[in-house]
Structure 1
Amino acid sequence: MRELSVIVYGRDVQGHLADCLDSVTGQIPDGAEVIVAAVGDPAPTADVPGRVTVLALPDATSDEDARAAGGERACGAWLFFVHAKDRVPAGALRTLRDRVAELPDDAGRAGRVDVVLADHVRSTWHTSGVPGPDARQLAEAGPRDLTLAECPDLLRVTPLLGNRALRATFWRAHRDRLAATDERFAARAALVLADRVTALQEVVLDERRLRAASLPPLTPEQHYAAVGQYDDLQRLMADRGTPAGPRTVLYDVMATDCMRIVARAEMPEPVAREFFHRASRAAVAWRPEGYRRPAGPEGVRRRLLEEDAYSRYRAFQSVNHRRRDLQSAVRGRKRQVGAKVRDLRYRRDLRRPVDPSLAVFSAYWDRGIACNPGAIAAKLAELAPGIRPVWVVTPAGVPLLPPGTDHVVPGSRRYWEVMARAKYLVNNVNFPNSVVKRPDAIHVQTHHGTPLKRMGLDQIEYPTASKGLDFRQLLSRVDKWDYSVTSNSHSTRMWEHAYPSHYVPLEYGYPRNDVYYRATAADIRAVRDRLGIAPGRRAVLYAPTHRDYEASWTPRLDLAALAERLGDDTVLLVRGHYFYGGAASPLAGLRRTGRVIDVSTYDPVEELALAADALVTDYSSIMFDYANLDRPIVIYADDWEMYAKTRGVYFDLMAQAPGHVARSQAELTGILTSGAWRDEASGKARAAFRRRFCEFDDGRAAERVVRRVFLGESDSSLPPVVPVDERVPAPTPEEAAGR
């Protein structure tokens, strides 16, 4: 018997089945099988690989019957149901397999776990991977084995079969209630029927939410069925003698859900009235003894529901809508008044003289001291201590500032004062539109990477990347630049094309990259000590970039499998995502042994680069910076064609990569385990890449910027750029360790 059966079921809704199968069959772990209970046209399942059983079901088969058929054919000890429209994120099947393999088959004294409940994300036609609402309930439950009475709030977890795995013997023992019933009912009924439940905080499902307008309208009976399911669940609880805690939670969920349907579902008036009447009957019939309604408007709605007062509920709803509209109008007027006062003060400050000793710095939308602005500010303190730096930092970033850092919070009174009076304004993104460019003020745009992807006006032809961009406003911000810092001729040309204006390019190198030539062996040993990398171990930094066609980062590698293949002598520094967090993650054990280190929130990233023996990335600009270290780089480009098509690129990375290119996880693993990652071909590719993209980075970029911009020195008096072949980068970790 296999440990896990993955059952993909249902018809090919809107052509999503092939995508679903790709997400599943591309990661089948040992000890797992896949059953495809395909309804109707079997074409999308024709070419699925081994360890996959395809059941071709008649076109009239319902989702419930397809699910039941798949469950009957499954041989695994645990069942994981995935609807044909959904996807399974990378690494999720290994996560589930590893967790269920830990659970004993025998019940024991305390009973056995019948349901493993996990997290999920959501995707629509225009978003991808948006976190669901269940993280808090799953975190509260944790990895313990619990009865529903011990954690009744698990009934609030989104009722999907795809965010839980069910023990096969449990499924078959309760086949009538779980197999051929609505998914929402079956998902909650499984919790009621289970002996014990355990929770995972990892994401195992990407639920695709289809456009309501693309689906057949619900019939009146389908609307009424929502109330009927709650009736059936309450009867099931009563029959099983479920304690008061879960019954109260389910009652609260029922009342909230029914009121939401009445308020938001577009039902004809007679249908809405009948739905309200049935919900009222259920609210009275199942109200727990001693139950207290919520306070405020929600309590009023609950009382009207229990009284079956549909007309009064609609009147109350109408009054609430008018009250919210009025409150919104009042808030809007207050904002207008506040904005006028702020504008008057700002205009007054703009009439005051510019302060020649005041410099405003910001990085990454006011996140804190970082990147090129941070390196320039540090050099400014050394070469021009008479110029006073003030950082713009959001409230969340203030506690992270070094003690004594002079700073302002965006929108505050002092913020507008320093923005009006500063001689120098330095940023790696743009300042807000509302910031006025004074004739005698100097704006320095440092940027924050070498462009592979299209930027600025070059995004016009790529609507996925440019969604929400106002190009006229963008150009008005660009027109405020006096200087644009670049690290290579490629960037200079691309910025001039993407941001056409009158600024002066400063081909001085990126100040943030100075550290790659100034760091010592002691610095590198100290960083590795802080990260917990044992001496003698190889560290590989994995740093992927954002996809514009995804709402959030989607794991593209099974990092647990990669870490296992690389072995104990390799540490993965993962600048990744929440998917790999949590105590029960497949990476948890590897983290405990020091084989995986989560550096997703570690700053500065330059220290991570110094600590790493090699870099694995996709299309992130970190490759251009890391190349300064002259250490191996491997490109993992599993979706290059999609990325290039949706974002647009300035050159073909596949033909001009800084090292070997892997198009699949198998290829990447082979490169990293065979020694190819640092072979002669890799070195030649990196050398060509460095000559092109590390052109001006030699360790003195910040000095050149400070001397030219803040001290007014001429270009001819600045330190000349050292040719690439004559530079000496920081020592490698191996050299720093004296090996």
Structure 2
Amino acid sequence: MPETRETAPDPGPVLSVVVHGPNVQDHLTGLVESLAARPLPETEVIVAAVGDWARETAERHGPAFRVIPLPDGTGDAAARAAGAARARGRWLHFVHAKDGLPAGAPRLVAERAAELPGTVDVLLLDHVHSTWRASALPSRDGPLLARASGAGLALDDQPRLLRLAPLLGTRVLRAGFWRRHRELFATDDEPFAAYAALLLAGRVACLPHPAYEDRRLRPESLPPVTPEQRHALVDRYERLLGLTRDRPAAHAVLYDVMVRDCLRVFVRAGMPPATAREFFRRASLAALRRRPEDYRRPAGLEGIRRALLEEDAYTGYRALQAANRARRAVRTAVRSGRRQAGARLRDVEYRRALGRPVDPRLAVFSAYWDRGVACNPAAIAAKLAELAPHIHPVWVVSAGNAALLPPGTDHVVPGTGRYREVLARAAYLVNNVNFPNGVVKRPDAVHVQTHHGTPLKRMGLDQMPYPAAARGLDFRALLERVDKWDYSVSANSHTTRMWQRAYPSRYVSLDHGYPRNDVYYTAGAGEVRAVRERLGIPPGHRAVLYAPTHRDYEAGWTPRLDLAALADRLGEETILLVRAHYFYDGAVSPLTGLRRTGRIVDVSAYDPVEELCLAADVLVTDYSSIMFDYANLDRPIVIHADDWETYRTTRGVYFDLMAGAPGPVARTQEELTEILATEAWRDGAAAAARAAFRRRFCEYDDGRAAERVVRRVFLGQDEATLPPVLPLERRTPAPRPEEVV
């Protein structure tokens, strides 16, 4: 008989990377893309995905990952436990979905972990940190880790390691060690788990190379910290110090960390007086109760601070703070001077108006940098007149556009006395862009940001890596404006999610649909027929609306099509409605001289644009957000993308339009002409692409968006009582032009 050999059991991977948590501000996308780009044989990736967005992201970007879907609201501890339960690796690296891993980090960690002796429970990593302003900033942990490097260190011999940043992602845990102590690790308090890992470990090893990225979210984008959460900081250290009994070296270092952390939070957190007073009292008790026997306060100002804490001298500590602030204020005033008051609307009239009560019956509206009554604000104002006529709307309109307002429109011109009065006293401020920097956000006033499109191109902070798009933008000032928003209106979950990453702040997303798109479901045959007559489109003729977008890398607008040639090829029964982007208002139209036959109509100045969409049989655009709105009509859309690669590279995009277009794509004028001259613009393939696009991007638009916004914001109705969004298959768009002839 031939000799048989026993197959050795599979030892499993060295390392299990357990990614866990919700897709906060879309940071998970970059993380899983980086992991998918460099698969490693000794490493497995498990994604404990909290919520649908995290699950969709993980499944889309990493088919090799093991994805564990978890319901929205699952805490970090439960998500970590779910991922660890499925892990096969000998070591566990917990990576929060908001954080990142530098290039090559998993390989580096796996190689280091594989060579460690069995006595080591925790491998400590260096890290970098990132904010919205900067990426990959070095930590302060590197020198400490380098000095303590070794194959297996006892914490009691290196207690300074307790001064490392308390990030669980910088602690790689042996799987058996995790299982032995998983009950203690079962906490959403990540710093507690990070400290506990050090205190419980038999021995630790160090990797003094950045192998983790701590992404620090804007505090303004996170829920407000509750008094209970503030007080829990003291409780955390009390519990941890309980683990250092009979370990004087570790106890002394951890005590010092506790006192420093409590004083830092007390000084910087901006707690309400009652919360601050109770926090100080609890910290004082802990400082006395846990003080080491041979403890000596440091000299100088730090020693004074600690003495005041131990004595629970809250009033004395506040007096010390006030004196320090006064000295700093004098130095700052001498160094920097003051900004001009006019630039911040801080004139006498505005300050005086801010001192008067907010008028609960006053609402201020503006659109497109004070161009007039338009877009989502206009649709909201119209519904407001119907449902809440007791609230008086006032529009902010530039002097040049005031003459174009509908008769009877109450309005103010920027810079006037009444302009300052209404901005200061309005209970509601509604805009599809931002109000000027100097507008003060009063606590009892409501700011509604309606936006003016679904984002294909990068917006907000996402423009920072693209110089052409970021030119001239002050992102810090932008975020100050964003922080004034109470509500952000959204047409679909894609938009909601992209605004979270582009404009990270604490506003409430109103997933109600875009009010301006209501007309696409409420307009009837008469409205469609009347618009076409106003535009001079004869019955039975096809109207092609050509609406290209702005390009940051072009100084002006030149049509990317030979419109005269296109009109000639499409014949006498096709009318081209050509609309330039509103950024080019006032420029000499390049369409002059192309109106010889009446088959090319310049509609750049025609408002509202929604009427042009109602009149058109087909939309031709490139990357304009008009495609998302027009899709509500369920009419053909053709994409002309002759410079897609340039646009994507210079502006940045959120998804690949070429892979998910709402209809046929033309890369040249010849291809576009062929599509429009045949049935390709409206054949079965075009209809299927449009249906998929509508399911994704017409999610909340059903004809009642303005009503939902008015009821929620102005009438204060609960979300659950609003008219529900009608399913897509039950919606009836406005009739097509051929149906109203």
* Counterparts of 1:588 and 1:396, CA distance in 2: 27
Letter in structure 2 aligned against 1:645? T
Kept in 2, the 8 Å contact 1:362–1:369? The answer is yes
Letter in structure 2 aligned against 1:633? I
* Counterparts of 1:450 and 1:657, CA distance in 2: 14
Q: 2:166 aligns to what?
A: none
2:530 counterpart of 1:523: no
Letter in structure 1 aligned against 2:508? V
Q: 1:436 aligns to what?
A: 440
Kept in 2, the 8 Å contact 1:555–1:579? The answer is no
* Counterparts of 2:506 and 2:597, CA distance in 1: 53
> Which residues of 2 match residues 606-685 of structure 1 at below 5 A?
606-685=610-689
* Counterparts of 2:679 and 2:724, CA distance in 1: 37
* Counterparts of 1:549 and 1:734, CA distance in 2: 39
Deviation of the 1:652 alpha carbon: 0.2
Q: 1:84 aligns to what?
A: none
2:428 counterpart of 1:421: no
- Alpha-carbon spacing, 1:342–1:662, altered in 2? closer, same or farther (3 Å): same
2:351 counterpart of 1:344: no
Deviation of the 1:411 alpha carbon: 1.2
Deviation of the 1:554 alpha carbon: 2.0
* Counterparts of 1:619 and 1:339, CA distance in 2: 35
> Which residues of 2 match residues 471-486 of structure 1 at below 5 A?
471-486=475-490
* Counterparts of 1:634 and 1:624, CA distance in 2: 12
Letter in structure 2 aligned against 1:369? V
2:552 to 548, 551, 557: 548
1:223-262 C-alpha deviation (Å, 9 max, x unpaired): xxxxxxxxxxxxxxxxxxxxxxxxxxxxxxxxxxxxxxxx
1:560 to 557, 564, 569: 564
Kept in 1, the 8 Å contact 2:468–2:553? The answer is yes
2:363 counterpart of 1:359: yes
Kept in 2, the 8 Å contact 1:371–1:512? The answer is yes
* Counterparts of 1:341 and 1:729, CA distance in 2: 44
* Counterparts of 1:534 and 1:711, CA distance in 2: 44
* Counterparts of 2:561 and 2:589, CA distance in 1: 11
> Which residues of 2 match residues 4-15 of structure 1 at below 5 A?
none
* Counterparts of 2:495 and 2:345, CA distance in 1: 41
1:265-294 C-alpha deviation (Å, 9 max, x unpaired): xxxxxxxxxxxxxxxxxxxxxxxxxxxxxx
Gaps of 5+ in 2: 1-338, 581-586
Aligned length: 397
User: Once the two structures are aligned, what percentage of the paired residues are identical?
Assistant: 75
Deviation of the 1:482 alpha carbon: 0.1
- Alpha-carbon spacing, 1:371–1:413, altered in 2? closer, same or farther (3 Å): same
Kept in 1, the 8 Å contact 2:518–2:704? The answer is yes
* Counterparts of 1:629 and 1:341, CA distance in 2: 43
* Counterparts of 1:341 and 1:642, CA distance in 2: 40
Q: Following TM superposition, where does structure 1 have runs of at least 4 consecutive aligned residues deviating by more than 4 angstroms?
A: 335-342
- Alpha-carbon spacing, 1:491–1:340, altered in 2? closer, same or farther (3 Å): closer
* Counterparts of 2:711 and 2:730, CA distance in 1: 23
1:325-372 C-alpha deviation (Å, 9 max, x unpaired): xxxxxxxxxx96877996222111111100000000000000000000
Kept in 2, the 8 Å contact 1:364–1:428? The answer is yes
Deviation of the 1:588 alpha carbon: 2.9
- Alpha-carbon spacing, 1:355–1:670, altered in 2? closer, same or farther (3 Å): same
2:403 counterpart of 1:399: yes
Q: TM-score, normalised by structure 1?
A: 0.53
Deviation of the 1:390 alpha carbon: 0.3
Deviation of the 1:551 alpha carbon: 1.2
* Counterparts of 1:651 and 1:701, CA distance in 2: 25
> Which residues of 2 match residues 147-186 of structure 1 at below 5 A?
none
> Which residues of 2 match residues 691-706 of structure 1 at below 5 A?
691-706=695-710
- Alpha-carbon spacing, 1:337–1:510, altered in 2? closer, same or farther (3 Å): closer
Q: 2:455 aligns to what?
A: 451
- Alpha-carbon spacing, 1:340–1:676, altered in 2? closer, same or farther (3 Å): closer
SS in 2 for 1:645: helix
Q: 2:597 aligns to what?
A: 590
Q: TM-score, normalised by structure 2?
A: 0.53
Deviation of the 1:420 alpha carbon: 0.5
> Which residues of 2 match residues 482-493 of structure 1 at below 5 A?
482-493=486-497
Kept in 2, the 8 Å contact 1:537–1:571? The answer is yes
> Which residues of 2 match residues 103-114 of structure 1 at below 5 A?
none
Deviation of the 1:581 alpha carbon: 3.6
* Counterparts of 1:700 and 1:580, CA distance in 2: 38
* Counterparts of 1:338 and 1:671, CA distance in 2: 55
Q: 1:505 aligns to what?
A: 509
SS in 2 for 1:361: strand
* Counterparts of 2:652 and 2:344, CA distance in 1: 41
Kept in 1, the 8 Å contact 2:518–2:703? The answer is yes
RMSD of Structure 2 on Structure 1 (CA): 1.4
SS in 2 for 1:601: coil
SS in 2 for 1:620: coil
Q: 2:103 aligns to what?
A: none
Letter in structure 1 aligned against 2:395? W
* Counterparts of 2:717 and 2:345, CA distance in 1: 41
- Alpha-carbon spacing, 1:339–1:719, altered in 2? closer, same or farther (3 Å): closer
2:386 counterpart of 1:382: yes
Kept in 2, the 8 Å contact 1:617–1:623? The answer is yes
- Alpha-carbon spacing, 1:716–1:340, altered in 2? closer, same or farther (3 Å): closer
